[in-house]
Structure 1
């Protein structure tokens, strides 16, 4: 059983306490959330290890909801289905990461978060309509009680709800359960998850990022009935990205990628009502590495009764994290296999748009920037940088703009942009300078 410690900035609500509200959490520093595929922020302060922050949105298959997200049960609400209003306006208009969240008021409804790393930070909403929730780590049956209640409704982005620290580096699961109305404390009964941030060990030094996408993904396919789509997808608030998505609706078809000199690997793709289950297997030549196969449910019930187009009914139509592994040995060889395992018989889709590795190969990107092949926009939050320290308010993944595809705005790019602006200005105002009209 792992030893865990909790953030002191999050209050523990006594289930037998007097009728009073828990104190407001005191968050002191910002932890920016990054949109999918954005370069992480590395912590290289230790001589023996480099750590990175990984943002997992509430829409990712790495997060499982029990009971499952369903229009029929009404257990979970999203910005599309949620009509509840807060004191400052509709929840759907708040500054949520990627514009999504999952909210419930059902007692005993549970969120399971699967991740690799040593720390996890839970971000969501606070206010008078929220109440007690418990947090359980791995196989430990002990549940620590928390409350998201505050007398005043939070504004803007998300707040830190809990921090789980002191885990051994590796694979873990955290369960968050809604406790429901309690006798005594003045509080609501709801819970809202926006995203989580995981701290992972990704090697030593400054890892480089190497991406496999587009035509290179096609070469990895064993698929006989694969489809390649060039699509422009939402990649965060005010950020769009044109990318190649490789997909298949045939059970058993797969992508296999062999790599080395890597300390971590991530897989990204889309998720909606047309998708099904898939598996991710990782094996290695290293005798100390224990191979694993993980199964995920890539479907998401976007098929709301009043909607006819499932894909466009989803709040989040961009990439999501579909798998992540860390703390790999750069001296070992690895094989990653992604397989469509859906057995529903309905031709459910599995797709991939990016396989990313960290290690000695590739390029060094500025934190928050998108890799070559993306929009090149800097998607880092404007609310601060640095590694997670257990405190702080969350932030959206909106674009701050201006980056090049390698994550840094170079002088030649700036000069070219300036020259283009001058040329356009001269063309528009040429008549005023006696150079003739732009139009006949």
Structure 2
């Protein structure tokens, strides 16, 4: 099979924090130009989550044989555990006697069994020696199946106004040239939208704001999965701490055929919002053989780039491509892996007015 490596930012809705109030993060509105100025900070898309609360966790569900987690290392950082599925947690340390420049690999594996997994990262604080109590999480990279070996990939973009998207309930349009494609569609009611596509992977993009909340995604009639597109900053309900271009939903390793996706907003007592900006799906020329899906091959499926991630690399490696893609990434401790990109097409952005 061919794998595509997908980069997931700490602010994306597919990442679940046990308590957002346990973590501090930069306000994304302080660096709104991350999409056009990737060197504005050393952190992916100018955000991270940092905590000193012992016992707080972050988790991610993914399907594939590889997982990489990046954060920070230095004298203020301590121990943390990684648990994959029902295995026993393994303890690691992010402590170093001096600050390590750039992203630090908190975890790496390309040898997981191919299939659905849940990873839980827990802060353990100061466990030994001179360790500090902090933990910083910047991004995740997961490998997912997109097609057979040697297959070519075609990415199709649906703007929120595409007639193939069916809206139910009350939706409004926000027209602004700063949005991707010139606008978004949003609601704060118990409304839904659905669409069909033929492909092996799908991305749905929107934004995260403190006046946004929970929503569910159902694919091919499966049980609904619940996500939270409230701002990664946490805090009181309100139009604050907005991050544009976030990944609301991703699903890979889909088989050949027509897939149906339904997204339902759960407004709750606050009448929280959801914004839809664009949908992208990947269609391979040859689908993977489902009977061989236990393979741990990690072939790159898209045009590689010359960017690499090293201890001093900037965020440029994670924001330069215009489609979900992989490029060259090297880290001495990890060996080569493809660098996925999901902050797509943000030539200029805006906010719901």
The TM-score bracket by the shorter chain reads 0.7 to 0.9
**Map of 1:119 onto structure 2:** 66
Q: Indicate the residue corresponding to 1:132 in structure 2.
A: 79
Aligned-pair CA distance for 1:76: 0.8
Match of 2:265 in 1: 340
SS for the counterpart of 1:216 is coil
In structure 1, the partner of 2:208 is: 271
Q: How does 1:280-359 map to 2 (within 5 A)?
A: 280-283=217-220, 291-300=222-231, 302=233, 310-311=239-240, 313-314=241-242, 317-330=243-256, 332-343=257-268, 345-359=269-283
Offset at residue 232 of structure 1 (A): 2.2
What SS does the corresponding residue of 2:162 show, helix, strand or coil? helix
What are the superposed Cα offsets for residues 322-361 of structure 1, whole Å, 9 maximum, x if unpaired?
Answer: 111111122x221111111232x22211121111111148
Alignment correspondent of 1:413: none
Q: TM-score, length-normalised on structure 2?
A: 0.75
Report the CA distance between 1:214 and its aligned residue.
3.6
Alignment of 1:83-98 (within 5 A): 94-98=41-45
CA distance in 2, matches of 1:121, 1:268: 22
1:386 and 2:304 aligned: no
Q: Is the 8 A contact 2:95 2:132 kept in 1?
A: yes
1:112: how far off?
Answer: 1.0
The reply on whether 1:110 has 2:57 as its aligned counterpart is yes
| Contact 1:123-1:193 within 8 A present in 2 as well | yes
- The Cα of 1:200 is off from its aligned counterpart by 0.8
Counterpart contact for 2:327–2:340, Cα < 8 Å: no
Q: 1:255 aligns with which of 170, 175, 193?
A: 193
Judging changes above 3 Å, is the alpha-carbon distance between structure 1 residues 151 and 196 closer, same or farther for their aligned structure 2 residues?
A: same
Aligned residue number for residue 20 of structure 2: 69
String of CA shifts for 1:97-130, please: whole Å, max 9, x gaps. Answer: 1000000011111111222222110001011110
Matches of 1:62 and 1:337 in 2, distance apart? 16
Q: 1:367 to 1:352 in 2, by over 3 A?
A: farther
Separation of aligned partners in 1, 2:133 and 2:25: 17
- Secondary structure at the counterpart of residue 215 of structure 1: coil
Q: Which runs of 5+ in 2 are unaligned?
A: 29-39, 286-300, 306-318, 348-353
Deviation at 1:168, TM superposition (A): 3.0
Aligned to 1:216: 162
The alpha carbon displacement at 1:299 in A equals 1.2
TM-score between both structures, scaled by the size of structure 1:
0.61
Q: Is 1:154 equivalent to 2:100 in the alignment?
A: yes
- SS of 2:244's equivalent in the other structure is coil
Alpha-carbon shift at residue 176 of structure 1 (Å): 0.5
Contact 1:202 1:358 in 2 (8 A): yes
Q: What is the DSSP-based 3-state SS (H/G/I as helix, E as strand, rest coil) of the residue aligned with 1:60?
A: coil
2:121 maps to which residue? 176
Q: Which residue of 1 aligns with 2:46?
A: 99
Residue in 1 that maps onto 2:174:
228
Q: Is the 8 A contact 1:127 1:148 kept in 2?
A: yes
Q: Which ranges in structure 1 are unaligned for 5 or more consecutive residues?
A: 1-48, 82-92, 234-240, 285-290, 369-377, 404-440
Q: Contact 1:115 / 1:324 at 8 angstroms: preserved in 2?
A: no
Distance in structure 2 (CA, Å) of the matches to 1:217 and 1:53: 30
- Across the aligned residues of Structure 1 and Structure 2, the Cα RMSD in angstroms comes to 3.4
> In terms of Rg, which structure is larger?
1
Give the match's secondary structure for 1:98: helix
Change (3 A) 1:186 1:299: same
Paired residues of 2:20 and 2:234 also in contact (CA < 8 A): no
Q: How many residues align?
A: 299
- Residues 208 and 365 of structure 1 are in contact (CA less than 8 Å); yes or no, is this contact kept in structure 2? no
- Indicate conservation of the 8 Å contact 2:164/2:195, yes or no: no
**Pair 1:145–1:292, CA change in 2 (3 A):** same
